[in-house]
Amino acid sequence: MRVSEALEKDKPTLSFEFFPPKTADQEEKLFAVISTLKKFNPDFVSVTYGAMGNTREKSFFWVKEIKDRFKLDPVAHLTCVAATKRNIEEQIDELTKMGVLNILALRGDVPQEEKDFVPPENGFHYARDLVAFIKRHKPKICLGVAGCPEGHPAAPSLELDTQYLKEKIDAGADYVITQLFFDNRYYFDFLDRSHKAGIRVPIIPGIMLITSLNQMRKMTEICGATIPPKLLERLEKYGDDKKSIAKLGVEHAIAQCEELLEAEVPGLHFFVMNKSGPIAEVLTSFRQQRFQESE
């Protein structure tokens, strides 16, 4: 099923995002994680892809496993910052042969250690170019793009960031999945800016659970998200008490998701970080039984 079709249903979609494991032990763990979360009947699951294309083989392997072994609808991430048009054409052909109907089209950020990186001459400057290219070559592919509630760290302003998002939609994107945020106010403000700019496609909020203070700080530095002061204060009081931090993370996510669902968001997209426990706690704690766990 295409994500656009799932979004047409009369209930919010549920989706998860995984990253390709690096070791045999991590692979075994991810199989278990997917098996656990599959019980919540996700509408689709996505698999990340390194900005430099260095996880292509593993990413595509897991896309195929999710589709064939777990019988779930996969969304393949595809970045273009280090790819030529020929590279991308080969990859979308490969995904099409697998029967993949959904791609999340991303520019991808060059790793900081790649100081001498030079983009391919026959490549893509922006995600909008990747979206347009895929739409021309594979018009039946359902395309998602990323949005940043607090603005992309490289964007000169929120207004220009919204304009860039509109360009991706105009190029053919069918929906948006947001970057993580911990204060719903940023998501609702993002919706207002997007609607005023003429963006009418569904905008799915992306949710990340806090399981580690250091990890959260690292992620927010990368994507430019804000940690609410009161939440940060409570987390810092726990110090190295991981159990208490994880408990607070679940409580915060439940409150976030409940408010978002009450506002009738099109769906919830969880950045799983290849851990099923915290997500399962959140999904089984909703006051309204939006997502039922199957036997």
Active site residues: 17
Using CA atoms, how far apart are residues 54 and 86, in angstroms rounded to an integer?
A: 17
Tell me which residue of 148, 157, 130 sits closest to 222, measured CA to CA: 148
Considering Cα of 26, then 117, then 215, then 153, what sign does the dihedral take? negative
Q: What are phi and psi of 63, to 5 degrees?
A: -60, -45
Using CA atoms, how far apart are residues 76 and 143, in angstroms rounded to an integer?
A: 10
Query: Residue written as tokens 């991303």?
Result: 106
Using CA atoms, how far apart are residues 113 and 94, in angstroms rounded to an integer?
A: 30
3-class DSSP state of 95: helix
CA dihedral 252, 183, 38, 273 (to 10 degrees): -90
